[in-house]
Structure 1
Amino acid sequence: LVAMFGSAFGFAVLALTIGVVRFWRGVSPAAGADAATRAAIAAARVPAAAEAAIDVATLRHLGGGHGEGCNEADDRFTLARRRFHHLTAYGFLLCFASTVVATFMHYLLGLDAPYGWASPPVILGTLGGIGLTIGPTGLLWLNLRRDPAQGDPDQRPMDRGFVALLLAVALTGLLLLGLRETRAMPFWLAVHLGTVIALFVTLPYGKFAHAAYRAAALLKHAVEKRLPRRFDLGSD
């Protein structure tokens, strides 16, 4: 089981990494740059990486550039999309952390599941599951209410499918936690594991991929704005 899920997750990470590396090679500020620009890029890497990391962690650009948020059903600004994205992203990370901690406890410490309610895997998984339930539910609600002019209609099935899959992972995980001492546990375990592996194998090809590419784009922007500006105005 570990080998199967590890292989699926490893494939997703590898596919995303290859895609982002190819993207970076195509847009990197260092591509075709002279020696002086390359030196400036090298000096800018650390502060640019720190800025990009903060932008990713805070989802600053979902503030609409003015801190008031995005448009949804009408022209009013709202921070709802940013908040639901935060719940989704950090809920996912907490669930992932729960899995990592549980794996460590099982294989390195010899502690077999199920774990107590106050154990790190259960606390992390419960908090993550709650975030991963509220966040995608809110994003799906916003997507259904959004003005058609605010997005590409052809992208909606992908958006909604990904959000629904995240929601399925969260809900089946919470159900499994609540029913783990009942006869229904084997059924919900199979359902939950099915949703998880479906999420893993589709990660590089669905909406999730935008997180990796967006992070690379933010890093590019953070590097470029630290480079000296040269204006070639010509002889006139």
Structure 2
Amino acid sequence: MKSLLLRSFALVLALVSSAAMAKTDVDKSNPYVMVEQVAQITFDRLAKQEADIRANPELLKDVVREELMPYIFYQYAGLKVLGNYAKQASQQERRDFVAAFREYLITSYAQVFTLYDRQAVVFQPAKDFANKKIVMVPVDIIDEQRPPINLQFKVRKNSKSNQWQAFDLVAEGVSLLDAKQKELRSILAQNGVPEVTQMLIEKSKRPIVFKDENDTDASKNAQVQE
């Protein structure tokens, strides 16, 4: 399930990135419009850089860093993962964790992007989001090799900018952030925030590997990034 969550999260988050190379304006005032507007832009960039990425998979980290992270509310997501431990940590420890969490996400999504093979995406009809702070955007990923993946993409309205940003994904009823929080709970309890921060830093340094190049290494990489 964790593998499905991470894979689904990365593929759908690709839909909410901006193509800085194309200098395209994206309407971040509407979560549904934002997702649909940038979908083709993102897939076009991945397609155009496919040869270069195959030659140097580390370029996927640049794609995620430049195109994806501006649309991810990683600060909010990171603190949600910490939960009550955020209150126990010092301000500096929280800052260090959020920074490490951001780099961890970059590497995690980049690794999962090696699985991307131009899957079809179906957007569900938009609903009224007036006066809402959090909206679930339903998206279906259609893959001929497996049953459709039904997802609910969680976006939150930033109270400072009034723009929508992604922070979580629910796949088959399971929240990615909830799963990550449960995974880290025992480590946080036993070793504290600094230890988990260092663990995320080390995981973020792992190289990106295409599965068809080295099945064993790629499989290990995908597991540890989860």
TM-score, normalized by length of structure 1? 0.24
Task: State the structure with more CA Rg.
Answer: 1
